[in-house]
Amino acid sequence: MVRYITNSKKEEAMVSKKELVLRAFRGEEVDRVPVGFWFHFVSQEEKMLGLDNPVIFNKSVEGHAAYVRAARPDFVKIMSDGFFKYPSALYSDHIESIRDLAAIQSIGEHHPWIEQQIEMVKAVKASYPEDLASFYNIFAPVSYLKRWFRREGSRGDREIADFLAEDSELTGHVLDVIAGDIAILTRRIIEEAGIEGIYLSTQQIQDGRVDEASYRRYIEPSTIKVLEAANAAGGQNILHICGFEGASNDLELFKDYPAQVFNWATHHEGVSLAEGRKLFGGQAVLGGFENGRAALLNTGSRAELENETKRLLAETGSQGVILGADCTVPDDFEIERLDWIRQAASQF
């Protein structure tokens, strides 16, 4: 569980936190650079089991509420904990061929998997003690498909590469059907739950058989379809290019994606926030801190975190920048550390 350490000092701001964050997204001048980190609130197994499960639903809502009360964050990334698994009727542990999925159909506009996520986001937002910008965690369609094949020794990348080798056009079709449902979820959750946008997590296929040409032709269109739906719904959206031990990305692949903010593993990919600003055409960037358990964020002293905060801002600037982590931080992260970084950023 997250260990909460609160700070009683009141924050003073010229604008609301929501407006502060949205100004940073737009690359405008800000009174201080926003800061935000995020956690999971359920177990690894529970991430896949939230559909029609009120215990996991409530655990997620209560976890978000407790975090917001304790951390007073500048914004909230609402986790899709419990809903990591796309619920196609064709799902089976025995799928061995992409042709097994040839009959895939949309789950429909009002499937419980969609309805319950909307209700969860509404419940999380209703728990806020103040008006905060919120961004809901959505995965790229290929990530939902990969999860069907996650087992010991595989994250699903090998299976996606196998499917593309077997029938690339059918694989693209399956991803397009999934993308249509994720686009529905995205549109409805922005419009009906009143969030500011989505945090779309994507990643290259971690198999050398899937080259850039195959990725762009058969996988990328489904990801873009979701982003375009989020944009059409009026979202201010974050693209998360997920990199961690064992998974790397060529950031060039994603530089023209239609997102407003870009977040990637600055340390793992070896591309700093400042370098990313240039790569992504001056768009707003989010991150800067490595999220691993042994990283400075989780182990450094207050002075070390303050110095790193100031170094990042001196290097990157203070416009179009939101300080955060490469990805989700450990569950036992001490919330006080977030406040150290926020105070250092406000003094920059």
The answer as to whether 29 is a domain residue is yes
Domain assignment present for residue 8? The answer is: no
Q: Between the CA of residue 313 and those of 35, 161, 201, 263, 347, what are the distances in Å?
A: 12, 40, 25, 16, 11
C-alpha 43/C-alpha 196 separation (Å) is 27
From the DSSP assignment, how many helices (H) and strands (E) are in the chain?
Answer: 12, 7
Enter the tokens of residue 42: 């359920």
Q: What is the pTM of this model?
A: 0.94
7 belongs to a structural domain: no
* pLDDT for res 150: 78
Q: 112-126 and 54-71 helices cross at what angle (nearest 10)?
A: 30
11 is a domain residue: no
Q: Which pLDDT value is given to residue 6? A: 42
40 token code pair: 């999971």
Question: Is 12 a domain residue?
Answer: no
Is residue 276 domain-resident? yes
Largest CA distance in the chain: 60
Sheet of 321-325, strand order: 75-78, 133-139, 197-202, 238-241, 261-264, 284-289, 321-325
- For every one of its 348 residues, what pLDDT tens digit does the chain have, with 9 covering 90 and above? 444 444 434 444 468 999 999 999 999 999 999 999 999 999 999 999 999 999 999 999 999 999 999 999 999 999 999 999 999 999 888 899 999 999 999 999 999 999 999 999 999 999 999 999 999 999 999 999 999 987 766 789 999 999 999 999 999 999 999 999 999 999 999 999 999 999 999 999 999 999 999 999 999 999 999 999 999 999 999 999 999 867 899 999 999 999 999 999 999 999 999 999 999 999 999 999 999 899 999 999 999 999 999 999 999 999 999 999 999 998 888 999 999 999 999 998
DSSP-assigned letters across all residues of 298-342: HH--HHHHHHHHHHHHHHH-SSSEEEEESSPPPTT-BHHHHHHHH
For residue 3, tell me if it sits in a domain: no
* pLDDT on residue 13: 43
Domain total for the chain?
A: 1
CATH code for the domain of 342 = 3.20.20.210
**Given this model, what pLDDT does residue 218 score?**
98
Q: Is residue 214 part of a domain?
A: yes
Residues 6+ apart with CB under 8 A from 216: 253
Q: Which of 14, 1, 3, 4 is nearest to 346 (CA)?
A: 14
Give just the sign of the alpha carbon dihedral 283, 286, 290, 296: positive
Report the pLDDT value the prediction gives residue 331, as an integer from 0 to 100: 84
Q: What residue type is 55 in one-letter code? A: V
Quote the domain boundaries for residue 338. Answer: 17-346
